[in-house]
Structure 1
Amino acid sequence: MLRGDRKQGTGTTDQHLLDGRGPTDWVHTDPWRVLRIQSEFVEGFGALAEIPRAVTVFGSARTPVDHPEYQAARAIGDALSRAGFAVITGGGPGVMEAANRGAHEAGGFSIGLGIELPMEQGLNEWVDLGINFRYFFARKTMFVKYSQAFICLPGGFGTLDELFEALTLVQTHKITRFPIILFGTRYWSGLVDWLHDSLLGSGKISPGDLSLVQVTDSVEQVVDIVVRAAEGRGEDVIGTEDQW
């Protein structure tokens, strides 16, 4: 990570890769860029290969510390850790920080997968293992490969992006089905209604596709869903409901 005067050029690495405008020097630079992409996958696989089973928590980076959603994410991170799961987030502030904080304070494994952005963000202080990525697609692969469930708290475009990518991968059987949980019924109800009325109503998805998403306001239910899914895969589960 380079800051201040040491930052070279403008834009992000993803932007330079995907922007097809400008001179034809991309013919010479893109083949070498493949090695950088490869290195991100190698580094990610190497760092995460032996982590405990894990759950990814998504949500807004703009959520303030005194907001109820921050406290909910912190409680979720705590509860997941006590149930024997590592907690993975995007490593940033807001909801991500809260989930990492809850996991860290509970003595669990707190993981942050950061991303290069135009605005400097950095990994939050509650991350035990942090990896910074240049490319979104490399980072997304790590979220999917090393998570056994996705929990989405209220968030913006980034949260929606991760949510719908996970839904698509599960729907198309590209990954083994695992829980996708929306936390906050009031926030997500409009989206759920739209999925039912517009997508299902017009035949764009099948009735069973709606069952891929579960919505709740209960931290206990979140952990229960994750634990039951793990038990369904024949895994031993650490923790009890009394701890949650």
Structure 2
Amino acid sequence: MAGVSDHEQDPHDERRTGPVLRRGHMVPPTTTDQRLLDSDQEADWLHTDPWRVLRIQAEFVEGFGALAELGPAVSVFGSARTRPDDPAYGMGVEVGRLLAEAGFAVITGGGPGAMEAANLGAQRAGGRSVGLGIELPFESGLNRYVELGVNFRYFFARKTMFVKYAQGYIVLPGGFGTLDELFEALTLAQTRKITSFPVVLLGVDYWSGLLDWLGSTALERGTISPADLERVQLTDDPAEAVAVVVASRSEDPTAGRGSIGA
């Protein structure tokens, strides 16, 4: 453009790329088609935010496609560090078995420990054993008892699948990841993004301290309500945990699954 050097942009220049308007120095020196067809280019574009949006979209499409016909399901959470000789591992196996026998698919994070235990129990009982894995630097793929697996790059896409296709949560002893999923579900229920969604904590000794703190500190300070605490049930008995979910389904066959607000 006359009067404008190679290093300057005409302040009146503008370009529209879809819904985005760029003016002045925000106008790129090349067009989208040019960059697409240029054979001499770097791969940095793979790491740009617009490209990430497509990856995120693809993860949702893959997850929805894989799980849409799964049928009634329950998500089971727990620590990846739970060893086979830990009582919590045995509870996980029993929960998986009982859920499968009750007609539920078992959805876990697909990793080792308590997740592996629940998948093992479901597989042994001839049920649908599902694992939703996540790309992490310190875990190696899905456990061998997963029969339907989906791997995710993004936690938020994976978390949507846990809630959308489940009719409840059963939560074994676990760490930050388990707590994250637990409080995500409780927040969604509190804000009525999901309805009639039972959450059962399995392991009285492990979880009592947390519930005591919520009741004695958070409740007394008014940061939660009594109804929020009533959303959580606590037991040491896998059969009781599964019975809570079965009872919820009996009361409302559409409970939980697919009830996330748009």
Match of 2:58 in 1: 39
From the superposition, tell whether residues 195 and 118 of structure 1 become closer, same or farther in structure 2 (CA, over 3 Å): same
Cα distance in structure 1, aligned partners of 2:69 and 2:195: 19
- Supply the AA of the counterpart residue of 1:69: A
Identity %: 66
* Deviations 1:28-67, CA, capped at 9 Å, x for gaps: 8111110010000000000000002000000000011111
Match of 2:215 in 1: 196
Q: Out of 69, 94, 107, which is 2:88 matched to? A: 69
Q: Out of 105, 124, 132, which is 2:151 matched to? A: 132
Q: What is the count of residue pairs matched by the alignment? A: 211
For the pair shown, the structure with the greater C-alpha radius of gyration is: 2
How many Å apart are 1:120 and its aligned residue? Answer: 3.4
1:80 aligns with 2:99: yes
Unaligned runs of 5+ in 2: 1-43, 255-262
* Deviations 1:55-88, CA, capped at 9 Å, x for gaps: 0000000011111110110000000000000000
* TM-score, normalised by the number of residues in structure 1: 0.84
Greater relative contact order (Cα 8 A, min sep 6): structure 1 or 2? 1
Unaligned runs of 5+ in 1: 1-24, 236-244
From the superposition, tell whether residues 29 and 105 of structure 1 become closer, same or farther in structure 2 (CA, over 3 Å): same
Match of 1:51 in 2: 70
Cα distance in structure 2, aligned partners of 1:221 and 1:27: 48
Cα distance in structure 2, aligned partners of 1:234 and 1:155: 29
RMSD of aligned alpha carbons: 1.4
1:171 aligns with 2:190: yes
Match of 1:149 in 2: 168
Match of 2:180 in 1: 161
- Supply the AA of the counterpart residue of 1:165: E
From the superposition, tell whether residues 192 and 38 of structure 1 become closer, same or farther in structure 2 (CA, over 3 Å): same
* TM-score, normalised by the number of residues in structure 2: 0.78
- Supply the AA of the counterpart residue of 2:118: A
Q: Secondary structure of 1:224's partner? A: helix
Cα distance in structure 2, aligned partners of 1:84 and 1:28: 42
